[in-house]
Structure 1
Amino acid sequence: KKRKLNSSRVLRSSKRVRQLGAYSGSKNPRTVLSWLIENNAVVPRSKLYYLKGNSDVPLNEGRISSDGIKCNCCQKLFSLSGFQAHVTGNNICRPAENLFLGNGKSLVSCQVELMRKKIMRFNQEPVVRATGTGSRSKFRLLAPLGSENCNDYVCSICHYGGDLICCDRCPSSFHATCLNIERVPEGDWFCPCCCCGICGDSQFDKMAEQFADDSLLRCHQCERQFHARCKKEGGMVSSEEHWFCCKTCEMMQWGLQQLLGKPILVGHNLTCTLIKPMQYQAEDRVDYDLAAMAENYSKLSVALEVMHECFDPVKDPKTKRDLVEDVLFCRGSNLNRLNFRGFYTVLLERNDELIAVALLRIYGDKVAEMPLIGTRFQHRRLGMCRILVNEIEKTLLNLGVQKLVLPASRSVLNTWTTSFGFTPMTESDRLDFLGFTFLDFHDTIMCKKL
Structure 2
Amino acid sequence: MADKPAKSAKFVVEGEACEDAVFRWCNDACTGGPGKKTELTSKAKNQLSAMGWNLWHAPKNGRLELRYQSQQGKVYYTLKAACRSYVDGISGAGGEERAVADRNLEPKKPLKRKSTSDGSVQPRVRKGEKKLRPGAGREEIHKAAANLEPKQPLKRKTLLLENQAFYESFRPQPPKREIELKEKENQIKPRLIKRSSIRIREDPVLNSSHRNPKTILSWLIDNDVVSMLGKVYYRNKVGMPLKKGRITRSGIQCDCCFRVFALTAFEAHAGSRNHWPMANIILDDGSGRSLSDCQRHLRNSMTRSKVESPVNAKKDDSETHKSDDVCSVCCDGGELICCDRCPSAFHAKCVGLKEVPDGDWFCPSCCCGICCVGSLSDDDSLRACQQCERKFHLGCLMLKESNEHSGKNNWFCSHSCESIFSGLQNLMGKPIPMGNNLTWTLLKAVACSNDDADHASGLDSSAENHSKLNVALDAIHECFEPSNDAYTGRDIVQDVIFSRGSNLKRLNFKGFYTVILEENDEVVSVATVRVYGKPVAEMPLVATRFSYRRRGMCRILVGELEKNLAKLGVQKLILPAVAGVVDTWTTKFGFSQMTGDQRSEFLQYTFLDFQGTIMCQKHLKMEL
TM-score (norm. length: structure 2): 0.65
Contact in 1 for aligned 2:394/2:400 (Cα 8 Å)? no
Letter in 1 for 2:222: E
> Which residue of structure 2 aligns with residue 415 of structure 1?
584
Q: Unaligned 5+ residue runs, structure 2? A: 1-188, 620-624
**Deviations 1:193-218, CA, capped at 9 Å, x for gaps:** 111111212247x385x3xxxx1111
Q: 1:275 aligns with which of 440, 443, 464?
A: 443
**Deviations 1:153-199, CA, capped at 9 Å, x for gaps:** 11111112211100001110011122231111111111111111112
Displacement of 1:7 = 8.3
Contact in 2 for aligned 1:275/1:344 (Cα 8 Å)? yes
Q: 2:318 aligns with which of 143, 147, 154?
A: 147
CA distance in 2, matches of 1:281, 1:332: 18
The answer as to 2:548 corresponding to 1:382 is no
> Which residue of structure 2 aligns with residue 138 of structure 1?
none
> Which residue of structure 2 aligns with residue 394 of structure 1?
563
CA distance in 1, matches of 2:300, 2:216: 16
CA distance in 2, matches of 1:367, 1:289: 30
> Which residue of structure 2 aligns with residue 129 of structure 1?
none
Identify the range of structure 1 (100-109 vs 270-279) with the bigger mean alpha-carbon deviation.
100-109
Contact in 2 for aligned 1:236/1:245 (Cα 8 Å)? no
Spell out the pairing of 1:263-412 with structure 2 (5 A cutoff): 263-282=431-450, 289=457, 293-412=462-581
> Which residue of structure 2 aligns with residue 67 of structure 1?
250
TM-score (norm. length: structure 1): 0.89
Contact in 2 for aligned 1:69/1:83 (Cα 8 Å)? yes
Displacement of 1:97 = 3.3
CA distance in 2, matches of 1:177, 1:304: 36
Q: 1:164 aligns with which of 333, 336, 339?
A: 336
Displacement of 1:112 = 1.2
CA distance in 1, matches of 2:313, 2:216: 24
**Deviations 1:356-403, CA, capped at 9 Å, x for gaps:** 110000001111000001011111110000001101100110000111
CA distance in 2, matches of 1:18, 1:284: 41
The answer as to 2:398 corresponding to 1:232 is yes
> Which residue of structure 1 aligns with residue 352 of structure 2?
180
> Which residue of structure 2 aligns with residue 135 of structure 1?
none
Structure (1 or 2) with the greater helix fraction = 2
Letter in 1 for 2:250: D
The answer as to 2:440 corresponding to 1:256 is no
Distance 1:376 1:173, change over 3 A: same
Q: SS in structure 2 opposite 1:122? A: helix
Contact in 1 for aligned 2:478/2:545 (Cα 8 Å)? yes
**Deviations 1:307-338, CA, capped at 9 Å, x for gaps:** 11111111111111111111111111111111
Contact in 1 for aligned 2:232/2:281 (Cα 8 Å)? no
Q: 1:117 aligns with which of 297, 301, 322?
A: 301
Contact in 2 for aligned 1:355/1:376 (Cα 8 Å)? yes
Letter in 2 for 1:192: P
Q: SS in structure 2 opposite 1:243? A: coil
Larger RCO, structure (CA 8 Å, separation 6 or more): 1
Q: Unaligned 5+ residue runs, structure 1? A: 1-5, 127-140
CA distance in 2, matches of 1:375, 1:14: 19
Contact in 2 for aligned 1:50/1:100 (Cα 8 Å)? no
> Which residue of structure 1 aligns with residue 18 of structure 2?
none
Letter in 1 for 2:343: P
The RMSD of aligned alpha carbons is: 2.4
> Which residue of structure 2 aligns with residue 133 of structure 1?
none
CA distance in 1, matches of 2:332, 2:217: 41
Q: SS in structure 2 opposite 1:59? A: strand
Q: State how many pairs are aligned.
A: 424
Letter in 2 for 1:420: F
Letter in 1 for 2:301: K
Q: 1:108 aligns with which of 284, 288, 292?
A: 292
